Amino acid sequence: MAWARHAPAGRASSRRRHLRFHMRSLSLPGRSLAGRPTSVLVMATGLLAATAAYQTVPGVLGPLLETDLGINQAALGLLSAALIGGMAIGLLPGGVLSDRFSERTIMTIGVGGGGLAMFAASFSTSFPVLAVLFFVASIGAAFAATGGPKTIIRWFAPNRRGTALGIRQTGVPLGGVVASVLLPAIAVAGDWRLATRCVAIAAVLVAILFWALYRDRDGEPLVESGIDQPSIYRSRRFVAATGCALTLQAAQACTLTYLTVDLHQTLGLPAATAALFLAVALIGAVVGRVGWGTVGDLIGNRRALTSVSALAAVCCCLMSLVDSTSSLVAVALVCLVLGLAAMSWNAVYISLVTTMAPRRSIGSALGTGLSIVLLGFSVAPLFGRVADVAHSFRPAWVALALLVTVGVALSFVARTPKPEPAVV
């Protein structure tokens, strides 16, 4: 009889356990997806690609914007400047907010809000309103730039973070490539407004999916309470690493802006053919962002930053040697390695900063550092001015090589200090 009394209870307990397991599997439909580091990496990369895609609108749809709005090339350049300015303004607030609140919330608001701003911009008939909305959309993109690395830190072990950050950073060129292929085709079927709405809706949908599927990793808080650590902004290592990254950003900006023009004038190539060499450099950038992240995991991020800076300086010197007699194959190889170096440093710098900053302020540190690094874009007009005065790009590439060499020297200052010997 005792067995008879306990048997139903045992079966009921088993049924309850089975029901609880079944309900857990149904309560969060995205939990199994969000509970894997690989899935988190895919989502973080997708967010970055979505913001990169809508930031390409002025470049990809520029001729249509000029015709429809009656603007000139200078005004089109102001739209691109609005996107860069929004990033610069939004990085620090985005970092601070991601430290204070969940990066899931901040990234969803940023990317979704940026998509909504781009959607509103597609209805604008006024150039000033369009520029303001582009500026607002780029602030949203900045939120993804600072919150994304924190998701990687939560889900990846230290010896795998560099590779993961590198893969995430490929979202920028991949988003640009997809946009450059699809947006013109959509615009031909409709107009630039339809194409802009499509990329805006895509950003909003990606943000909604991220909110629905992403979960913070249990037991992995990023806040360190009760630990008194010096401010990273007083760290000589942080300042030196950021200075090095600024010189690499300058090399990236100059390459993106002037590589096609240089080869068109120096080699006498048609503009479309010269643009293929930039495409080769961008392929190198996609490979390099993953590769340098892995190198950082293997030899350390500081050594990787020194290596990528030195390689970029060498490539700038080689570009200064290009003339009308240069082999196209050799020039293509130099462009490939130039992209592999000058456009692939991002993950290494981000990973290095995350090792320097207290965990409670990683977002703020990244926001500050990346805001400073964006100043490297201001070197591009100076590069062009040197080329105009000299009637040749050769001295401009030499000057850029010297600037990046300064970055190499700064990278040595970013070394981890050796512990002082104990006093006996």
pLDDT tens digit sequence for 33-62: 445 888 888 898 899 899 988 888 887 787
What percent of the chain stands above pLDDT 70? Answer: 84
Helical axes 171-189 vs 192-213, angle rounded to 10°? 140
Instruction: Please answer whether residues 411 and 349 qualify as being in contact, where contact means their C-beta atoms are separated by less than 8 angstroms.
Output: no
Q: Dihedral (C-alpha) 213, 112, 177, 396: value to the nearest 10 degrees?
A: -120
Other C-beta atoms lying within 10 Å of the C-beta of residue 190: 11
Over range 245-271, report the average pLDDT: 87
Fold match, 35-213 / 232-413 = yes
pLDDT band of residue 66 (cuts 50, 70, 90) is confident
The two three-digit tokens of residue 9, written as one number: 């209870």
Q: What is the CATH number of domain 232-413?
A: 1.20.1250.20
Q: In 354-363, which positions are buried (b, 16+ CB within 10 angstroms) versus exposed (e)?
A: bbbbbebbbb
DSSP state string for 329-358:
HHHHHHHHHHHHHHTS-HHHHHHHHHHHS-
Domain boundaries, the chain: 35-213, 232-413
34 against 94, higher pLDDT: 94
CA distance 188 to 193: 11
**Is the whole-model pTM more than 0.85?**
no
pLDDT of residue 177: 79
Of the pLDDT bands very low, low, confident and very high (cuts 50, 70, 90), residue 224 is very low
Q: Among positive and negative, which fits the CA dihedral 251, 253, 255, 261?
A: negative
- pLDDT of 211 above 80: yes
pLDDT at 133: 94
Angle between helices 271-299 and 171-189 (to 10 degrees): 150
The better pLDDT of the pair 319, 183 is held by 319
- Which residues are CB-neighbours of 166 under 8 A, at least 6 positions away? 289, 290, 291, 292, 293, 294, 296, 347, 348
User: Does residue 104 contact residue 207 with C-beta atoms inside 8 Å?
Assistant: no
Which residue is associated with the tokens 């902004």?
233
**Helix spans in 217-300 (H):** 236-266, 271-299
CATH code of 35-213, in short, is 1.20.1250.20
Average pLDDT over the chain, rounded to an integer: 81
Half-sphere exposure of residue 407: CA atoms within 13 angstroms, side-chain side:
35
Encoded tokens for 335: 């462009």
Identify the pLDDT of residue 410.
Answer: 94
Q: What is the pLDDT of residues 393-409, one digit of tens each?
A: 899 999 999 999 999 99
Q: What's the pLDDT score for residue 419?
A: 41
Assigned token pair, 75: 């005004």
What is the band of 194 on the pLDDT scale with cuts at 50, 70, 90? very high
Q: What is the Cα–Cα distance from 47 to 150, expressed in whole angstroms?
A: 14
Q: Give the count of alpha carbons within 13 A of 89, CB side only.
A: 14
- pLDDT for residue 358 is more than 70: yes
Report which residue type is found at 124. S
pLDDT of residue 421 exceeding 50: no
The pLDDT, as a whole number, for residue 422 is: 37
